[in-house]
Structure formats: structure tokens, C-alpha cells
Structure 1
Amino acid sequence: MATTATASSEGAPADDINKASTRLFSLDALRGFDMFWIMGGEEIFHTLAKTTKSPFWEAIALQFTHPDWNGFHLYDLIFPLFLFMAGVSTPFSVGRELEKGKSRGQLTLRVIKRAAILVLLGIVYNNGLNIMPISQIRFASVLGRIGIAYMFANIIYLYSRERMQMVWFWVFIIGYWLLLKFTSAPGFPHGDLTMQGNFASYMDRLILPGKLYLGIHDPEGLFSTIPTISTGLLGILTGQLLKKTGLAQTRKVAIMAVTGVIFLIIAQIWNLDFPINKNLWTSSFVMQVGGLSLLLMALFYYVIDVLGYKKWAFFFRVIGMNSILIYISGHFIKWQYTTDGFFGWIGQLVGDPYNIVVMAVCFILVKWIFLYYLYQKKTFLRV
């Protein structure tokens, strides 16, 4: 892991971006939009709901929670959207290194190294640096899942053509569906998808060391990482589409948008047999979040890189350029203490009940100012 300055695509014509740049402005902006909710954006709506007791704000706040098991809320999109974008960046990063003459073997080792670092970071994020018995350590993590899925998706990218990558996308999610449909934990009927009875959670209980997040199940378990590879592959396929130079930009937007809608339709149909479920990362969930990710990517790419409206997205770009740093920062920065120190007087001035809403906004502002300082210094955390 290193802290480095990375070249920016800001200010370059969109066609030049597709030909030569290592970054898309729209990709950084969308990544920042995604991380905005992780760094505290969702709390604004939770505090509004708590303060106003309004059914409207309560309904919106509900979308920033996870369903207990089956079902889908918008908050479920944050993690897979980040993984999707990691895939989108692959043709612009790993692909560029291939074009420069790096061997597939060299790049495979780099991908594996990055995955290992993310797995280790995830373990530290979950457990801190405290020494504890293995039985008390949670090994599964968001960063670990991103690392493993990123690794397998990139290896497939390195050693197969685009058409074969599409085949692999379907192999993982159809195979996962059939596997869970015709298996179960011992003592449960085949196809049981409850937390206790599904085959994926059962396998995690068998093979994962340490503890699972929910005791008998871990939402970032090892077995349910299989379909997440398809989420990463979808991002890679999207990145290859965006990188193509012989295709009009509006055509790229149309392909992403239409594919996104088709994916959402398939998700609703598949949901009838294999419910949309983030905990199990079911195949219908892959299609649901894949469709939404494609629509968001199409929107951001069209507005920012095609039409050229970039200034409005600068706020999100600053976040997106240091997304992993802001994700893990809570382990070494006491953000609430810092917010109270700088802006506590504003909360006191506003008073009850809206002081908690104002402080939720200030909480994000403090983090953004920190990221903006790093942005100005061209300092970005890369893994």
C-alpha cells in the first residue's frame, strides 16, 4: 500500500480520456457519490426522520438501512456499486499496463498482492490491532470481499477475451443459483434459503476460521463471494465499453442504459425463484445492483464526460479520489470529537430538535475538508 499522486483526467476532452487517460472524471465522481453515504450522508436522513417524525422522511430513511434478509433497499447498492467501479477502472489501469508491455504474469502478481492487502486491511478494520484468539477474530470483511472478487475478475480479464468474460459472468451467477437451489445445510430441504438452512452460510460455518458476523452467518462470507466476481466482471465489461475509441459516446450511454433496464427486469423475474438478498449476494441481487450501477454510470458519464458538466461533481470527486482512506479513517481519527470541537457551537446555536441534523451535515463537512486538503496536496491512498 502506498500514498501517491495520480494523474487526473480533468480538463481533457472526453475522446482523449478514452484514448489515453488512466482515469475518468465521471468514475471518480460516481465513486465519491457512493462513498458520500458511507461517510455520513445517510445520517442526514436518519436525523431528519427522527426530528420531524414525518412519514416522508421516515420512508427515505428506511432506504438507508439494510433489510433483515430478503428484499432490497437503496443502501444495499453502496457496496456492490463500489465493486462495480473497481471493475470499470481495470481496463484503464491494468489494461494500460498491458499496452505498455507488462506481462500478464507480472500483472497477475500485482492483482494478487492488492487482494492480499485488502484482505489484511479488512481484518484490521474489523478487529483493530489487538492480539486476540483466532476464535474471536472476524476474518470476513467488506474490503476482503472486494479484494477477492477484484482478484478473480482481473485474472479472468487478463487471460480471456471480452466474449469469454461475458460467459464467465453468467457461469458464476447461474452456477451459484443452481448450487443453492439443489443443496442446503444438513437437516434442511434442498433449496432452503433461510439464514440457518442455506448452503452458503453452512459452508462458511465449516470453512471460515474465527467468528461470523451474525454467529451462524456472515454477510461477507467466503462462499457467497462467488457471485460477487460477476459484479466485478460487469464493471470490467463496462470499462472496456467506455474505453473503446470507435464507438460514439452517446452510443456507449445508450448501451449502458438499455442493458441496465434489461438487468432490472431480469432481477425482478429471477426474484420470484431466487429472492433478491444482499446477505447471500443472490444472482437476482447481482442483476438488481448491476442494473442500477449501469444506469448510474450512464448518467454520470453522460452528464460529466459527454456533456462536459464537471463543476457540480467536484464535491464528489474529492471524496472519490481517496475512497479507501475515508472508509478506514474512523480507526485513527475521532471524527465526532473533531466535529464537536470545530462546529459544536453551531449545534448549540440551532438548539433542539434540529441541532442533530445540522451536526450530521457538519460531520460530513469536516471529513470533506480533510479530503480536500489531501486533494490539493495531490496525496491519494492507493492499494
Structure 2
Amino acid sequence: MINTGGLPNTMPAGDVSSRLQSLDALRGFDMFWIISGEEIFTQLAKATHHPVLETMAVQLHHSEWNGFTFYDLIFPLFIFIAGVSMPFAYAKAAVVGKKKIYSSLVRRTLILIVLGMVVNGLLHWEGYENTRFASVLGRIGLSCFFAALIYLNCSLRMRIIWVGILLIGYWAAMMLIPVPGFGAGVLTPEGNFAGYFDRLFLPGHLYREVFDPEGLFSTVPAIGSALLGVLTGDFLKSCEWSRTKKGSYLALAGVVSLILGYAWGLIFPLNKHIWTSSFVLVTAGWSLLLLSFFYLVIDAAGWKKWSMPFVWIGTNAILIYMASHGIVNFKHTSQYLFGGLIKFTPEAFHEVWLWCGVLAIELAALYFLYRKRWFLKI
């Protein structure tokens, strides 16, 4: 049997009863948009031209540079959730021993970096210079690795201080360190310091030629995203308030984080591509509001059944991410299984039904794995 570990999920999968179902469901909600949700709603907007759906479709694309859309939230929300899980996953750190935990952290981080490169096409080897080393999974691994080290070795006060050091330090570096040919504080794709740092030190191919959205230097504030999740998880685990009161305070913290983030964004624009400090606070704010909603509805009010499809996704998040990004051609499978029926529907809706078929196949497979208690451990 394959079990889950601490990074992608809240606790070892063998102890499902002690998990925060809201956290698994929120992780699944987050992944839903990546594995098929984006395509379903985008194609539905194209088929119907309904203004609400067209507005949603706009939100299901990343910002070109500065700005913020719902789709920009997907990645930092996952890192935030991974941070929330740490106080639960490492609750028995004193018993297990830090040496064993450190060994596991290093192994997990290296595996995520390699898997990220596989998603980037590593197995289609085209030479070192054409290999993209940075990746979504690599950033998850690195940001959570350093956040875990801080969590395991620092007091609550020092964890908060570390968030400030990371976010303010990154802002200062981006604004004050000059880039040859551009000067200091130039936040364009070509002129920003994070991109320059990647051109100097990140090996292989950069995703955007002059910078990489998952590059080395912009991983620094992503550690802050994970640490804000850690602080949230510590609050949920340690605070003895009622679940309703804790959920309400999560929402309040989310509003405060949004205010601070949008205010900072006036001088340090929101930008996912270089993971600006204002972007960290705004995404943490929305993450807290979403977690508050899921926590109040699922864990506090006990309304759980509706969230189970999201739980199936969330408890095997890394597996379905890998599968849907090159390992399995779910769209081809959907066409093979449902194409004969889809052709009898209006042509404008063919892509909609095809992607609904993709979701049905993914959920069926994930439900099977969940029932068998087979979860990917990294």
C-alpha cells in the first residue's frame, strides 16, 4: 500500500479519521481547476457566451504580468495548504527524532524537484541547455523544505519574524539591487532582479527566456507563503477555542492580510511571475478566507458529504497532478469512451462534454484509490 506523507497532505493517510477534512477538500478544490475545471468552464463560456461564464473564463487565466486573477491563486494556495499541514504532520517530531525528519525532508524535496523536471519533459532529453530545472513541484519542495526547517527549529515569535525577514528582504532586494543595463527597482520581465538572478545561477533553460516564474530567487517569498500556512496550522492545532470561533478568526485574518497585501501592492505590484511580497499577502488572505469557509462548513458545521469528490482529489493531489500533466492522456481516453455519445449533442458543447468526461474518469480513479486507501507518498 502507498501511504501519504506530510507535505502534500495533512497527516499520514492511515489515520484518515484524525485529518482535517476541510483541508483535504480545499486541496482538492484547488487541484480541481488544474486537472479539468479550467477547461470545463472555459469551454462552457465559449459554447454559451454567457457573460457570467465569460467573466469566470477570464479569471481562469494567469495575469500577463502585474495583476491578480483567480488562477494566480491556485499555486500559492497549494503551498499555503502544505504549510497548514505541517504542525499536524510533525506533531510527533520529538518522538520520531529530527534527524529522521531531516532525512525525509531532503529525500522528499529532491524527489519533487526531479518529478517537476519530468513534468517539464526531462524524459524527452534534448540536452542540458534545453532542460528546464525549475518547476511547480520543485518550488513546492523547496519552499516547504525551508518552511519545515524554520517550523522545527524556531519559536512562534521567530516564525513570525522569519515571515517579515523573507517578505521585506525580498522587497528590498528587488527594489534596491541594480540589474546591469536596467538599474534598481525595475520590475519588468527583462529588468527585475529575480530574473537577472535566474539568468546568472539557474542552469538550463528558463521558461520565459529572461526569467522563470518558478525560479530560484522568487522561491524566497514562496517560503513566506508556506510559513503563513504553518502559522495558520499551528493556530488550528493548538488553539482551544471552538471550531466556529477559530473559523471566524481565520476569516478575520484573511481580511487583514488582503488589506495589507493590496496596500503594499500600490508600491510593490501584485505579480505571480516574480512572486512579489504583496502577492504573498494577498494570496494568503484569499487562502485564509477559503480555508475559513471550508473549515466552518465541513469541520465546524459537520456538512461533509458534499466535499467528498474534492477529498478524493486532495488526498492524492501530487499523483493526479503528475497523471494529468503528461503521464495519462485523459482527454484521449474521454474521447474513446464518450465520443460516440458526445457526437449526438450540439457541436458547440462537444469540448464541454469531453472535459466533463475527463473529470468523470479522474474522479472514478481517485475514488477507487481512496476506497483502497492507496495514497502516493513522497
Range class of TM-score, shorter chain: over 0.9
2:165 to 168, 171, 179: 171
Deviation per residue, 1:317-340 (Å, 9 max, x gap): 011111000000033222111111
Structure 1 letter corresponding to 2:338: F
Name the structure 1 match of 2:321: 327
Matched, 1:353 2:352: no
Q: Report how many aligned residue pairs link the two structures.
A: 369
Matched, 1:370 2:369: no
* Distance apart, 1:245 and its partner CA: 5.1
Say if 2:198 and 2:215, in contact at 8 Å, map to a contact too: yes
Deviation per residue, 1:253-299 (Å, 9 max, x gap): 12211110011011111111000000000000000100000111111
Q: Distance between the aligned counterparts of 1:178 and 1:362, measured in 2?
A: 48
Q: Distance between the aligned counterparts of 1:325 and 1:69, measured in 2?
A: 30
Structure 2 letter corresponding to 1:76: D
* Distance apart, 1:8 and its partner CA: 4.3
Q: Note the aligned Cα RMSD (angstroms).
A: 1.4
Identity value in percent: 46
Q: TM-score with structure 2 length normalisation?
A: 0.95
Deviation per residue, 1:218-273 (Å, 9 max, x gap): 10001100000010001111111111252222221122111100110111111110
Matched, 1:57 2:48: no
Structure 1, 308-317 or 102-111: larger mean CA deviation: 102-111
Shift of the 48–224 alpha-carbon distance from structure 1 to 2, 3 Å rule, reads same
Alignment of 1:210-249 (within 5 A): 210-244=204-238, 246-249=240-243
Alignment of 1:181-330 (within 5 A): 181-244=175-238, 246-330=240-324
Structure 2 letter corresponding to 1:4: N
Segments of structure 1 that go 5 or more residues without pairing to the other structure are 11-20
Name the structure 1 match of 2:26: 30
Say if 1:122 and 1:143, in contact at 8 Å, map to a contact too: yes
2:2 aligned counterpart, secondary structure: strand
Structure 1, 337-346 or 155-164: larger mean CA deviation: 337-346
1:277 aligned counterpart, secondary structure: coil
Name the structure 2 match of 1:7: 14
* Distance apart, 1:376 and its partner CA: 1.4
Deviation per residue, 1:158-207 (Å, 9 max, x gap): 00011111110111001100111112321113110000001110000000
Say if 2:60 and 2:71, in contact at 8 Å, map to a contact too: yes
Say if 1:184 and 1:197, in contact at 8 Å, map to a contact too: no
2:67 to 55, 67, 71: 71
Q: Distance between the aligned counterparts of 2:196 and 2:122, measured in 1?
A: 27
Say if 2:67 and 2:269, in contact at 8 Å, map to a contact too: yes
Name the structure 1 match of 2:137: 143
Segments of structure 2 that go 5 or more residues without pairing to the other structure are 5-12
Q: Distance between the aligned counterparts of 2:48 and 2:183, measured in 1?
A: 46
Q: Distance between the aligned counterparts of 1:272 and 1:246, measured in 2?
A: 37
Name the structure 1 match of 2:8: none
2:190 aligned counterpart, secondary structure: coil
* Distance apart, 1:144 and its partner CA: 0.1
Q: Distance between the aligned counterparts of 2:346 and 2:263, measured in 1?
A: 49
* Distance apart, 1:97 and its partner CA: 2.7
Q: Distance between the aligned counterparts of 1:246 and 1:61, measured in 2?
A: 41
Q: Distance between the aligned counterparts of 2:28 and 2:167, measured in 1?
A: 28
Say if 1:29 and 1:320, in contact at 8 Å, map to a contact too: yes
Structure 1 letter corresponding to 2:215: G
Structure 2 letter corresponding to 1:155: L
Structure 1, 44-53 or 245-254: larger mean CA deviation: 245-254
Name the structure 1 match of 2:9: none
Q: Distance between the aligned counterparts of 2:167 and 2:356, measured in 1?
A: 39
Structure 2 letter corresponding to 1:260: G
Structure 2 letter corresponding to 1:374: L
Q: Distance between the aligned counterparts of 2:141 and 2:31, measured in 1?
A: 17
Q: Distance between the aligned counterparts of 2:333 and 2:15, measured in 1?
A: 30
1:185 aligned counterpart, secondary structure: coil
Q: Distance between the aligned counterparts of 1:129 and 1:335, measured in 2?
A: 20
Structure 1 segments, 4+ long, off by >4 Å, are none
